[in-house]
Structure 1
Amino acid sequence: MNKVILAAAALAVLSTAAQAQTVRIGTEGAYAPWNIVNDAGELAGYEIDLGNAICEQAGLECEWVQNDWDSIIPNLLAGNYDVIMAGMSVTEERKQTIDFSQEYYPSDPARFIVMTGSDIDVSNLSGVRIGVQSNTIQAAYIEENLAEGNTVVQFANPDQSIADLAAGNVDVILADGSFLESVAGGAQGAFELVGDGIVIGGGVGAGLRKEDTDLIATWNEALDALKADGTVNELIIEWFGEDGSTF
């Protein structure tokens, strides 16, 4: 009888441990409205709310890890966290190294932003200084299509690129439209979006290690449920406004 009790107790401990599995989520904390550090010094944004909702839906404990963009994939592969939620577009190039969950935001077209009143014609860029965040799909697009005849300035984080645009160190910036809309909308008219949106990558999804197939399946099951009950669309509208791209 004692052996049966001990076995049952051991199973209960194992079951509790499984339920309390901690998933570490890496994010940048510098890309509004996807992920930011708020006035209280805490991570906030669409992906923070969604990541927490996914963990609650899946019965997982969430632990957020803030990480610079340039090393965000290497640190996932190194095991410093288990999932990336950082406004990362799904691309074939990235899929050679990591896997992705299903998309939790449809394709976010890139946009150009300039200082208000600029006479730069983004349909025919020549002899200008183009700012872009390094290791992004926008940086790859600029190098392939607009590097010749222009000066490309790469930045480690998006806030630095906006600061250099304001300081006159670059003439135009290319980045995700949703991020630049938040910049233009909160800058009292200092910046303006110009030109049409440019679709470069796919939608935005969570990055995971290829071998973590169980976690990928769990993440997708939770996203399916949150899309079905309207949570994902509600969070998109909350953080991106009524013009946000919903499912």
Structure 2
Amino acid sequence: MKKLLLATALLALTGGAAAAQTVRLGTEGAYPPFNFIDDAGNVAGYEREFGDEACKRAGLTCEWVTNDWDSIIPNLQSGNYDVIIAGMSITDEREKVVDFSENYFPPADSAYVGLTADADIKTGVVSAQVGTIQAGYVAESGATLLEFPTPDETVAAVRNGEAAAVFADKDYLAPYVAESNGELVFVGDPVSLGGGVGLAFRESDDELREKFNAVIKAMKEDGTINALIEKHFGPETKKF
């Protein structure tokens, strides 16, 4: 009986150690080409490939979890997953509640898109996804902010006349413009916001953050990240 109890205890300990190496990655699954759900129902996109490679190099078993954008930080803090990997820009405001890795996507431009090049982006209605740096920028710009929970709804608002323009990451909007046959056009000049895109961690998870930081640095140095950026965003996209 004692041997059985000892074996059970050892099994529990080894099982716990294995479980400790499983890291849950939280993403939105609705922000291509950063992340989206493919036809098979799996998370796909730039962040899927980057995340899988980062986990492999870090010696971690990673599981993907999807979560609505507007509650993605609260659900990290409550323990529903361990890392946010969801096209999240590094900002001072977010740094107050989460800790970021170094960026795995460089600071990139945000842009306005409307039905015409003279759409009123100064005082008109501009749509943006709730909780984004773009929404914060619009709110302070003099325009009327119209927020939506998902990014595709922000573009739809322009098409159906609810908004004069949408403001979002230029890399996200570019495919919509390219595939619209002239229906959608960029408006005004691009705007640079944020410190690039990083992984977000609970403030207590320094060890996990540093493990990913080491991998991100290595993937920058050997060109892996730049190759993935070009694959998913095209050769004109900013790289490291």
User: TM-score normalized by structure 1?
Assistant: 0.88
Gaps of 5+ in 2: none
Aligned to 2:145: 152
Is this contact kept in 2: 1:32–1:182, CA < 8 A? Answer: no
Give the C-alpha shift of residue 119 in structure 1. 3.0
Residue of structure 1 equivalent to 2:78: 78
Show CA shifts across 1:185-223 (max 9, x none).
233332111211111211110001111011001111111
Structure 1: unaligned runs, 5 residues or longer: none
1:217: which partner in 2?
210
| Residue 166 of structure 2 is aligned to residue 167 of structure 1 | no
* Contact 1:112–1:194 (Cα < 8 Å) also in 2: yes
Instruction: Quote the Cα distance in structure 1 between the aligned partners of 2:117 and 2:170.
Output: 19
| Distance 1:211-1:191 versus aligned 2 partners, 3 A rule | same
1:196 is matched with which residue?
Answer: 189
Contact 2:120 2:164 in 1 (8 A): no
Which amino acid in 2 is paired with 1:233? N
- Contact 1:20–1:60 (8 Å) recurs in 2: no
Contact 1:22 1:60 in 2 (8 A): yes
Q: How many angstroms apart in 2 are the aligned matches of 1:62 and 1:135?
A: 26
For residue 125 of structure 2, the aligned residue among 125, 129, 134 is 129
Following superposition, the deviation at residue 224 of structure 1 comes to 1.6
Considering only aligned residues, what root-mean-square deviation do their CA atoms show, in Å?
2.2
> Shift in Å at residue 19 of structure 1?
8.6
CA distance in 1 between partners of 2:67 and 2:180 (Å): 26
8 A Cα contact 1:101 1:219, kept in partner = yes
Secondary structure at the counterpart of residue 24 of structure 2: strand
Q: TM-score, normalised by structure 2?
A: 0.90
State the Cα distance separating 1:20 from its structure 2 match.
7.2
Q: Distance in 2 between matches of 1:45 and 1:155?
A: 22
Alpha-carbon displacement from aligned partner over 1:136-174 (angstroms, at most 9, x marks no partner): 111111111224xxx321100111111121111111111
Q: Which amino acid aligns with 1:129?
A: V
Deviates more, 1:75-84 or 1:29-38: 29-38
CA distance, structure 1, for counterparts of residue 119 and residue 103 of structure 2? 34
Detail structure 1 runs of 4+ shifted over 3 Å in the superposition.
13-20
User: Of the candidates 138, 141, 149, which is equivalent to residue 137 of structure 2?
Assistant: 141
Residue 112 of structure 1 aligns with which residue? Answer: 112
Contact kept? 2:118, 2:187, Cα under 8 Å: no
How many angstroms apart in 1 are the aligned matches of 2:224 and 2:20?
23
Indicate the residue corresponding to 1:65 in structure 2.
65
Rounded to whole Å, the distance in 2 between the matches of 1:68 and 1:28 is 6
Over the matched positions of the two proteins, sequence identity in percent amounts to 45
Q: Secondary structure at the match of 1:89?
A: coil
Task: Name the structure 1 match of 2:232.
Answer: 239
Aligned partners of 1:231 and 1:200: how far apart in 2? 24
Number of residues of Structure 1 aligned to a counterpart in Structure 2: 234
C-alpha distance in 2 between matches for 1:188 and 1:42: 29
Q: Secondary structure at the match of 2:209?
A: helix
Secondary structure at the counterpart of residue 104 of structure 1:
coil
What is the alpha-carbon distance in structure 2 between the residues aligned to residue 158 and residue 170 of structure 1? 14
